[in-house]
């Protein structure tokens, strides 16, 4: 029988090597799984974002009392008439503020 002495530092290096190999195998498997899943969804024409609704961004300015809602451009939204109305209201509100300040 042959008995070997394993130095504690050698044991630590072996354990670290085993852990590194396990982490590498796990990472490769996860990357492979995500690519396979994505490819399968492309082949089956599955869209994850098909039924999700996107909310408008809410921007709050310290200068104004009301929050300003920024509109995102979508195919469904017709913003030309709405934008004109909002711009006219904003212009009138700014003129009223300037007149009160004077």
Q: Is the pLDDT of residue 77 over 90?
A: no
Q: Give the span between the Cα atoms of 71 and 92, in whole angstroms.
A: 21
Q: Is the pLDDT of residue 8 over 50?
A: yes
pTM of the complete model: 0.43
Length of the chain: 102
> pLDDT for 13-30, tens place per residue?
999 999 999 999 999 999
Structure tokens at 49: 């974002």
Q: CB atoms < 10 A from the CB of 61, how many?
A: 9
> pLDDT for 12-71, tens place per residue?
999 999 999 999 999 999 999 999 999 999 999 888 888 888 888 887 777 656 555 666
Burial 17-40 (b: 16+ CB within 10 A, else e): eeeeeeeeeeeeeeeeeeeeeeee
Using the Cα atoms of residue 31, residue 40, residue 42 and residue 37 in order, give the sign of their dihedral. Answer: negative
């Amino acid at each position: 029988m042959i008995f070997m002495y394993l130095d504690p530092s050698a044991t630590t290096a072996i354990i670290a090597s085993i852990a590194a190999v396990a982490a590498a195998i796990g990472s490769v498997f996860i990357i492979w799984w995500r690519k396979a899943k994505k490819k399968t969804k492309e082949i089956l024409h599955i869209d994850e974002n098909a039924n999700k609704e996107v909310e408008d961004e809410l921007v709050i300015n310290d200068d104004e009392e009301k929050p300003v809602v920024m509109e995102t451009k979508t195919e469904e939204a017709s913003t030309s008439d709405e934008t004109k109305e909002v711009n006219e209201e904003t212009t009138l509100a700014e003129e009223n503020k300037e007149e009160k300040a004077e």
